[in-house]
Structures are given as structure tokens and as C-alpha cells.
Amino acid sequence: MLHGKGCKKDVKIIVWSGLLFLCLAARALATGVVGYLPMSDGEYAQKRALKPLLTLPYSVSPDQTWHFRQVGVSGVTLLPEPKKDNEWRISGKDRAGNSWVVPVGRLINLAGNAQFYRADLDRNGIQDLVIWLGNPGLGLAPSAQYIIFTISQEWPPLRL
């Protein structure tokens, strides 16, 4: 190949061929990712957003409580577990007025403080409680865990 006009033309052909190949490869990869997703586009389009309620503060007094009126039949209260350091529980009432209490456990660790959300996950018209808690696993454990309480009108929350 001699230097001159032909060389520049060859470089243009090589560059444009490379870009065309890159576009085709990117499209094929994108199709593979979309095909991998477990739900259809219509299912992903439905709104299932979690509504934020609270990020637990770093300093909490021993008698601190929070009441989430949007969750459950008559609201859910987050309160410290008596006689257990840094452990929590939730309490509330069912439709008949019976009280219930469910232990939650520790909500503060080296990865940060828990974040609370609400959503109707079981689609029964009652907002459920979702707690996100980071794990300090340093890459050896999952980066976070979800604590999910599905709430019904008749019985105490089910922890998933």
C-alpha cells in the first residue's frame, strides 16, 4: 500500500466497518439482555414502586418510636425491643382490634441504618412493610437484605 489518497480511503473503510460491526454487536447484546429479563415489557411498565417511609437515624434514644399510619390495617409502630440492646419490633392491630407484636431484630450495622418502605406487595389493598438493611460482608456476602412483612386484615404480619 502506497501513501496517498488510497491509504486515507482504506483507513475510512476500516473505521466505518469497525463502527458498523460495533453497532451490530451492541444490538445483539442488548437483545440478549432483554431476552434474559424474567418479565415482559408490559409487566415492567406497571408501577410497583416502593414508597419511602424512614431512614433510621444514627443516634436513637432508647424510648424512640415511629408510627407508620399508611402501613397495615390501623398503622404499624416501630419500637425498641425491651431488654434487648439495639433490637427492634413492630406492633399493630388487626381488623378485629387484636394487638400483635413481631420482632424485627437489629436494624443498625456497619453497612448503615435500615431504610423503611411501604408497598402493596400481595395486592390485597393493605400496604406492606419493606425494610432494606445493608450487609457489611466486604464482598463475601450479599450487599443487602430485605425484611418483608406482608400484612393482612385477619392475622399478624408474615415475615418473608
Every domain of the chain and the residues it spans:
5-43, 47-159
pLDDT of residue 76: 92
pLDDT at 49 over 70: yes
Q: What is the pTM of this model?
A: 0.66
Is residue 128 within 8 Å of 150, Cβ to Cβ? yes
H/E stretch holding 91: strand 87-93
H/E stretch holding 113: strand 112-113
pLDDT at 3 over 70: no
CA atoms within 13 A on the CB side of 44: 6
Q: Average per-residue pLDDT in the chain?
A: 80
The Cα–Cα gap between 73 and 67 comes to: 13
pLDDT of residue 61: 82
What's the pLDDT tens digit per position in 123-138? 888 899 999 988 877 7
Q: Mean pLDDT, to the nearest integer, of 85-113?
A: 86
